[in-house]
Amino acid sequence: MKAWDEKIGDFVELDALGEEITKPKAQSKYINAFYKPVEDGFLTPEQKEQPHNEPVAEKSPPVAAYEYNIEIACAQEDIVTYQIGAFSLGKTDDEAVISSWKKSASQTGFTLLTASVMVNEPKALYREFFQSSGSALAFQDVNPVKKGSGTHTESFVPIKTAVQVGEQLGWPTTGFYYHFIDEKLTHEYQIVGNDASTFFATQSSAEQLSSSLLSDHQYNFILLPWKVNNAPVTRQHLLYLPQKMTQEEFAELNATWLDENACLLDVETIVKSKNENALAREKTEGDEVTYVIQPNDSLSKIAHQQGTTLESLVELNPQYKGKEGQIQIGDTLIIESNKDESTHIPAHIVVLNGDGNRETWDEIAKQHCMAPKELLTLNSMFEDNPSALKVGDELCINAPQQAQDKAQRVTLPPIVLTHIGQVSSFVNSFSSMSKRLLNAFVVAALNDKNIPANTPIVNVGKLEIERHWCDPIKNPMSTNHYQNGGECAYWGLFGEDMRREVNRPHRGLDLFAEIGTDVYACVDAVIQHVRFSSSNGNLIVLKIDEKEFVQRIWNEKLEYKVHSLPNRTEDVEGKDVNVRENGLRFAYMHLNSIEINPETGSVFKAGDKVQKGQIIAKSGVSGIKTGTKAPHLHFEVSSEHEYGNSNTKINPGFFVDFKYIEQQSVSDKEKQSVVAKTNHKSYKGISSFKWSGDIG
């Protein structure tokens, strides 16, 4: 009998099939991919720790055989500071966009950006402010090189732009920069403003100007193409304009106009400036500022460079008195000395009074507008026995003070400025000491740790030293005397404490002015008031309200350091000052007469327009009933719609470039002393003008 056998797929004898089914099966053995056969199915501890899986074989990525290098003319550590933007190699049919770069130092000390390239083919190089910014500078047909060669054919250099004001460089805080390559606009930059010299990139292109910004990112530097295919990019211009170029002006631009009005860049000179040696500067050592004489120096040149006079320089260096032309290279000059800066202490010599007796403490104090107790405090040797005072004793009538008011020197940069387009490294371009503003909208280039020392600074324009301001009188100086003729330098300064003895704040600045001195309109303005006041005498108030002009005048404020005297400190401004909203007011008081308006043929009146520098009055002593031995112009500045609020007064020292006693010449002081010997009274009839009505 047969039965079906599944293994062979056929019928076999039943007996043979039964034997196969009942036949004992061989013992199975389990084998792990990484182990030898294990008897009895047990693993040793060491075997259990071994991996139980076959490793997956990974396919190796292709290795780039080529690279492309860009040279940036700066040290590797300065790349971030210079904000060089984003570079990429454009997509081709055979390779995707390449935007990954490795930084390394070149043999010249500059930085190489290196990208790995798979396909050796011409590519397009793009430089953007940031990835996908949409405003790319493109360079066609750049070629990769063999991997590891480190060679490059395209180079760039970061610069910082500056403008020249007088003999100094500065950073504009308003306006626009325009960068042209081959007479085509590459980028327009809009300066941020509000005292900031950084700038935005706009969306302007070679075809069309735009007022839209590329982004709100601010920049300090401009990246210039230096070489393309190893050839310098020569036809590059930078143009600075205080205002945006119009579309009509833009459309008419040509090579001739750019050569005449813009700065043609010499990129080779720009790059060479990075290797300039730092020129000699003055050094501060303890209480002295010194300078080492260099080849081609002269005393007059050094004095000019250091913001001092030849006379002062010789006084500090007497070894050269009479030998000014015989200086020795390598000698150290003293430029400034702060040793023994105590000022002269005003004194009073005790004399007999009208009764033939020794002056009393009260009589002496009144002569100097002081309280007797204050006078005694200043002369502490008499506090225990005031009656010990005798004729001939010398009393201090003002506490000693340090000469804080010595005129600040304005130093020039070591590099002598000669022309537009001049390039110098930053280390030789900045001034060590200067007022902050060179004019209304240019900030002085001072030492700045955020600017690398070898940064090329390009002089792209020359601006005039312009203030929209004229001091109210010529050679303005503060009064050195009380009304009674006693010496007191602080009496005419601005502040709550200046006249504490009489419990009366002084909200103006008293400028020494003999009767009949010309008085000038300090700004282009409209006359708001022409009045006579019993206390202020004949007065004129000028007003300006146009917001942009007000802001300009405000920006032109001087860097004035308020005087800090014993128990007295000048104020800065009142609590309610809001210049842009309320405008500015300028008041002239104690005038002797009002000038004739040449436009109308009659005296100036409210509503008349005046121009900066125009004579509007003569100084006098009107309103000072008892007369004065210190004739002066009382000048006030305020921010208000209607003149008169003391909380809106501003210290005139921030506008008037006046000389305090420490800055006055010997002749200035002597002149005031001579005038103080006479009591000056108002002339008859000076208030008999037919005063005009006021305007609000």
Of residues 565 and 495, more confidence is placed in: 495
Contact (Cβ atoms closer than 8 angstroms) between residue 241 and residue 178: yes
> Whose structure tokens read 């083919």?
121
pLDDT of residue 247: 92
When divided into structural domains, the chain yields a total of 5
Q: Which amino acid is at 552?
A: R
Confidence of residue 686 (pLDDT cuts 50, 70, 90): very low
pLDDT > 90? residue 620? yes
Q: What are phi and psi of 637, to 5 degrees?
A: -125, 135
Confidence of residue 548 (pLDDT cuts 50, 70, 90): confident
pLDDT > 70? residue 683? no
pLDDT over 70 percentage in the chain: 85
Residues 238 and 320 in one domain: no
Q: What is the pTM of this model?
A: 0.61
pLDDT tens digits, residue range 425-457? 999 999 998 888 888 789 999 999 999 999 999
Instruction: Report how far apart the first and last C-alpha atoms of the chain are (Å, whole number).
Output: 137
pLDDT of residue 28: 42
Report in angstroms the alpha-carbon separations of 2 from 19, 23, 646: 14, 19, 132
User: H or E segment at 544?
Assistant: strand 537-544
Q: Report yes or no on 304 lying in a domain.
A: yes
pLDDT of residue 172: 95
- Please give the average per-residue pLDDT across 89-110, as a whole number: 94
Q: Report yes or no on 295 lying in a domain.
A: yes
pLDDT of residue 305: 93
pLDDT of residue 404: 40
pLDDT of residue 581: 84
Confidence of residue 580 (pLDDT cuts 50, 70, 90): confident
DSSP H stretches of helix in 216-371: 247-251, 255-261, 267-272, 299-305, 310-316, 361-367
pLDDT of residue 691: 38
pLDDT > 60? residue 270? yes
Residue 253, C-beta contacts closer than 8 angstroms, at least 6 positions apart: 183
Residues 552 and 617 in one domain: yes
- Please give the average per-residue pLDDT across 610-615, as a whole number: 93
**Beta-carbon neighbour count of residue 388 at 10 Å?**
9
Contact (Cβ atoms closer than 8 angstroms) between residue 633 and residue 514: no
- Locate the DSSP E strands across 401-470: 423-425, 437-439, 442-444, 456-463
CATH number at residue 330: 3.10.350.10
Q: Report yes or no on 57 lying in a domain.
A: no
DSSP classification of residue 630: S
Q: Is 125 left (phi over 0), alpha (psi -120 to 50) or beta?
A: beta
- Please give the average per-residue pLDDT across 379-387, as a whole number: 86
pLDDT of residue 61: 79
Q: Report yes or no on 590 lying in a domain.
A: yes
pLDDT of residue 696: 35
CATH number at residue 600: 2.70.70.10
User: H or E segment at 551?
Assistant: helix 547-555
pLDDT of residue 167: 93
* DSSP code per residue over 472-490: SSSS-BB--B-TTS-B-SS
Residues 674 and 562 in one domain: yes
Q: Report yes or no on 20 lying in a domain.
A: no
- Please give the average per-residue pLDDT across 10-27, as a whole number: 55
Average model confidence (pLDDT) for the chain? 86
Q: What helix, strand, coil percent values describe the chain, rounded to 5?
A: 15, 30, 55
Residues 379 and 415 in one domain: no
Residues 217 and 187 in one domain: yes
Domain that holds residue 586: 495-682
pLDDT of residue 42: 56
Residues 549 and 617 in one domain: yes
- Please give the average per-residue pLDDT across 48-65, as a whole number: 71
Q: Report yes or no on 133 lying in a domain.
A: yes
pLDDT tens digits, residue range 281-329? 999 888 899 999 999 999 999 999 999 888 889 999 999 998 888 899 9
> What are 111's strand-pairing partners?
72, 105
- Please give the average per-residue pLDDT across 539-549, as a whole number: 91
Q: Which of 136, 152, 168 is the last residue of a domain?
A: 152
Q: Report yes or no on 377 lying in a domain.
A: yes
Residues 138 and 165 in one domain: no
pLDDT > 50? residue 235? yes
Q: Which of 101, 131, 152 is the last residue of a domain?
A: 152
Residues 506 and 435 in one domain: no
Q: What SS3 class is residue 667?
A: helix
Q: Which amino acid is at 459?
A: N
293 is written with which tokens? Answer: 């004489």
- Please give the average per-residue pLDDT across 614-639, as a whole number: 93
- Please give the average per-residue pLDDT across 456-475, as a whole number: 90
Confidence of residue 16 (pLDDT cuts 50, 70, 90): low
pLDDT of residue 551: 81
d(CA 379, CA 397): 8
Residues 136 and 193 in one domain: no
Q: Which of 304, 320, 341 is the last residue of a domain?
A: 341
Residues 568 and 629 in one domain: yes
Confidence of residue 405 (pLDDT cuts 50, 70, 90): very low
Q: Report yes or no on 434 lying in a domain.
A: yes
pLDDT of residue 402: 42
pLDDT tens digits, residue range 480-512? 998 888 888 888 899 877 776 666 788 899 999
pLDDT tens digits, residue range 130-167? 988 877 899 999 999 999 999 999 999 999 999 999 99
pLDDT > 90? residue 88? yes
- Please give the average per-residue pLDDT across 571-590, as a whole number: 88
pLDDT of residue 685: 39
Residues 547 and 648 in one domain: yes
- Please give the average per-residue pLDDT across 69-88, as a whole number: 96
Of residues 314 and 61, more confidence is placed in: 314
Confidence of residue 262 (pLDDT cuts 50, 70, 90): very high
Q: What SS3 class is residue 126?
A: strand
Residues 601 and 499 in one domain: yes
